[in-house]
Structure 1
């Protein structure tokens, strides 16, 4: 999968993660999309470590589930780190 595929996958995974975990996030949609791209990379590392294979093709269900899982994990960590600053 090329770099544009990674970016598109990450952007969409970030939006899906935001839909699964709604709430107020500091930074807005742009930060959520960036977290999605980085989360897709993290999901690939998780898949490679656990299953022996990370992200493969764009239309693979395993690729999408791992990218969304990585995005959810990263979004949760981001909320824990920045949660107090959002309320202030």
Structure 2
């Protein structure tokens, strides 16, 4: 199971107002067990595009990367992991953290 150890998040600007809703980019630092095929000595992070639209929230895109090399990995999250990441993103939206 993946563990999120820290994050960076920002609202992605849509200067032309073409896309509905608000999109956020999250960079989630992950702790990955050594016996997991995703494990890397250099560390792993997950880039997530998270959408808030009409009161609903969801992940629209994500990609795993190795920290030092920026090499991307073609792995998917299982349902439980995706739900955990979505919940984490929802709880850590940039506006939410500023209000706390």
Larger Rg: 2
Structure number having the greater helix percentage: 1
Query: Which protein has greater RCO, CA pairs closer than 8 Å, 6+ apart?
Result: 1
User: TM-score, normalised on structure 2?
Assistant: 0.26
User: TM-score, normalised on structure 1?
Assistant: 0.28
Structure number having the greater strand percentage: 2
